[in-house]
Amino acid sequence: MTRFAAPIAEQIWDMKYRLKDADGTVVDQSVEDSWRRVARALAAVEKDSDAWEAKFYDALEGFKYLPAGRILAGAGTGRAVTLFNCFVMGTVPDSMGGIFDMLKEAALTMQQGGGIGYDFSTIRPKGAGVSGVAADASGPLSFMDVWDAMCRTIMSAGSRRGAMMATMRCDHPDVMNFIEAKQDSARLRMFNLSVLITDDFMEAVKAGGSWDLKFDGKIYHTVDALDLWNKIMKGTYDYAEPGVIFIDRINKLNNLNYVETIAATNPCGEQPLPPYGACLLGSINLATLVKDPFEAGAAMDEDALYDLVGTAVRMMDNVVDASRFPLEAQRQEALAKRRIGLGVTGLADALLMVGQRYGSVEAAATCEKWLKMIARASYMGSALLAKEKGAFPLFDKDKYLASGSLVDMDQDVKDAIAEHGIRNALLTSIAPTGTISLYAGNVSSGIEPVFAYAYTRKVLQKDGSRTEEEVVDYAVKMYRDKFGADAELPEHFVNAQTLAPLDHVRMQAAAQKWVDSSISKTINCPEDISFDDFKEVYMAAWDQGCKGCTTYRPNDVTGSVLSVSETSEKTPEAETGAEVVYLAEPLERPQQLEGNTYKLKWPDSEHAIYVTINDTIHGGHRRPFEIFINSKNMEHFAWTVALTRMISAVFRRGGNVSFVVEELKAVFDPRGGAWIQGKYIPSILAAIGGVIETHLIETGFIEGEGMGLKSDPHAEVVAMDASQGKPKGKACSSCGQYTLRMVEGCMTCSSCGHSKCG
């Protein structure tokens, strides 16, 4: 019998976490083998490794404790990978040499798959003087463009996707440009953006006061605080960015505020970290710990929860010692503070099991109660671990007990810390768990509400065909297994589509009271929410004690997410808002095509390369259909044939294929590029990308160099909502399915688990 509650769970395990050799040969024959591999690796640092391996295996068994994906995929493999998810890089110096030193460190970190965060507030504003140079500063946004290009280059080299977070203080002179940066759809695609909001700024907003934009003590501009706040709000209302981080609150409540100052977070915002800060993640699956689910006496198994949390803390503490780090500074920071981020998933499912409506006052109180249990067990477990193994090196008893999360902690926990110290400086965080929650049987993600109770997923088979399968929420499946497949769901079964935005805020605020780091959560807002009501969501988040706020309002600019009917019984259909064409099946080749051939002469190469691009007319528009790359140089033969076939396959699937240009132009050759017609081209592949771009401009497919589609070809849409005659929205860039949704701040595909946040 399989351990997996749903086919999608097994598919996610096989695709992302199952150990295989480089040639694809399976090493982990079953998920039990994966659990055993991880348990053995994390127990290896223990004196009694056999006993702890058994304990760790028990925690993993049945998907009760879910280490983050990098731990599941990397622990015990012998591969040179980091098991940490989150990094904030060093403080960016306000000098050219220092800036590019930081760029190198970012590249090395992203090469190992880490998501990184940076505060760009330390770079002088655009137009500021530069001593010793007869020029003005280009400002932080120009260097963010360099970081963005680096990230695309690293990804094009085949490295695991890693996201970036950029922050900027609300009093930086370039904050207006920062707010608007991603309103250009072609700019900063690899970044999430958040404004660092201070307490003084929020007071000025509420008082209707003025606000100084300054750098190094010099005031550059004075603006109306409310006008700036409205500009931030309008940006996220229309474009879903920037986010908001209440940075003073984060520093005030930080257990380590006596040794560090935080100015940035990881890409999804749940880990505010100091320079070179690193944090690993893991989640307690609350949906597996409810006794007598759906019965009158249903309740959280508090003893099981307490024991599981203690084991999870020990496992995560061992990861600190077992992991590799991209940079030595990251390793030293991790060992000095031993930060971990233990969170939850399956909260909404657990609430359904005990008969409570997510978002209600009762559910918020239950959420707070459960999160306090986890915080208490985490801190007590870490104190006992310190008794055995020693406290984290920077522990200062008096300062630590007077700070952050300890103010409201139970006295017996404080007493244990006073006596033994504590092993881990910070312990709790609620991270994105989209893929992990699918692996665990499609439990509700993090502290998010259930998104949809059921939907249809298309699965690619080995013969290339696709089959459909129903994906059902974990709690809904359990309810129907218990009461019958046709049983009507109770009234308290609500989902993300039917919740008021302020209900989301209430749940986030309840959880934040007992989370010492932060929370990754998306507050879904209806498209027709008024701007004033939208602003109230952020003000409520501030007033109720949240450390940040992320919203998503579907519209023509941001795209759409899956939506479901209020009964949540039907397969989700996507709303309109598709910007480009996606074809369900590849176009067939006509007998005759029109095209152009371009000659490309690479310096120091004996033979030229000839690139032929043929087009087809579809829906009244000319679009690329196939490409041929030829050269007499046999050194190029294999890769040009492979490139020809792959790009042609992409062209024939339709859609906004201009991304091919972006990816090719980002490829660099470590042996060096070449100067062609006054421009530096980093590789032959980049030159081919330039040729394709030229062709797309000449044929009217895109507007110009570095720009998007020339027109919005709605007439070409093939995948339609039959009931409304509308396009199904954007397709997943990984699997091509129309199953994108916003989860915990990231567009995530429910078909394959792909997320831009990695």
User: pLDDT tens digits for 483-507?
Assistant: 999 999 999 998 887 899 999 999 9
- CA 589 to centroid of chain Cα atoms: 38
Mean pLDDT for 314-341 is 95
Per-residue pLDDT of 399-448, as tens digits, reads 999 988 898 999 999 999 999 999 999 999 999 888 899 999 999 999 99
Is 283 a residue whose pLDDT tops 90? yes
Token pair belonging to 749: 């595909």
In this predicted structure, what is the pLDDT of residue 461?
A: 59
> pLDDT band for position 582 (50/70/90)?
very low
Is 671 a residue whose pLDDT tops 80? no
Report which of 669, 698, 693 is spatially closest to residue 683, judged by C-alpha positions.
669
Query: The dihedral of CA 312, 316, 322, 326: what is its sign?
Result: positive
What three-state secondary structure class fits 364? helix
> pLDDT band for position 652 (50/70/90)?
confident
Per-residue pLDDT of 724-735, as tens digits, reads 444 445 666 555
Asked if 611 contacts 627 with a C-beta cutoff of 8 angstroms, the reply is yes
Is 715 a residue whose pLDDT tops 70? no
> What residues have CB less than 8 Å from 424, skipping those under 6 apart?
313, 316, 317, 337, 338, 339, 340, 382, 385, 392
In this predicted structure, what is the pLDDT of residue 728?
A: 44
In angstroms, the CA 743 to CA 450 distance is 11
Per-residue pLDDT of 204-213, as tens digits, reads 999 999 999 9
Is 584 a residue whose pLDDT tops 70? no
In this predicted structure, what is the pLDDT of residue 566?
A: 35
Cα atoms in the Cβ-side hemisphere of radius 13 Å centred on 550 = 20
| Active-site choice (86, 151, 170, 268) | 268
Cβ atoms within 10 A of the Cβ of 252, count? 12
In this predicted structure, what is the pLDDT of residue 404?
A: 85
Whether 268 is a known active-site residue: answer: yes
Strands (DSSP E) found in 286-401: 290-291, 299-300, 340-345
Is 136 a residue whose pLDDT tops 90? no
| Active-site choice (53, 105, 241, 270) | 270
| Active-site choice (85, 251, 254, 266) | 266
H or E stretch including 475?
A: helix 474-483
- CA separation, residue 371 to residues 271, 302, 342, 383 (Å): 17, 11, 11, 18
The angle formed by the CA atoms of residues 373, 375 and 380, to the nearest 5 degrees, is 95
Mean pLDDT for 533-554 is 95
User: For the whole prediction, is pTM greater than 0.75?
Assistant: yes
Report DSSP letters for 696-714, one per residue.
Answer: HHHTTSBSSTT--BSS--G
In this predicted structure, what is the pLDDT of residue 328?
A: 94
In this predicted structure, what is the pLDDT of residue 570?
A: 38
Report the length, in residues, of the chain: 758
- CA separation, residue 695 to residues 473, 627, 655, 709, 744 (Å): 47, 11, 17, 13, 39
Asked if 559 contacts 740 with a C-beta cutoff of 8 angstroms, the reply is yes
Mean pLDDT for 383-412 is 95
Determine the residue type at 729.
G
Of 297-306, 546-555, 704-713, the least confident: 704-713
Token pair belonging to 305: 């929860």
Token pair belonging to 600: 């490309």
Query: The dihedral of CA 94, 98, 100, 101: what is its sign?
Result: negative
In angstroms, the CA 252 to CA 200 distance is 14
Whether 735 is a known active-site residue: answer: no
- 255 or 111, which is more confident: 255
Of 97-101, 529-533, 649-653, the least confident: 649-653
- 214 or 8, which is more confident: 214
> pLDDT band for position 723 (50/70/90)?
very low
In angstroms, the CA 56 to CA 35 distance is 9
Is 714 a residue whose pLDDT tops 60? no
In this predicted structure, what is the pLDDT of residue 675?
A: 79
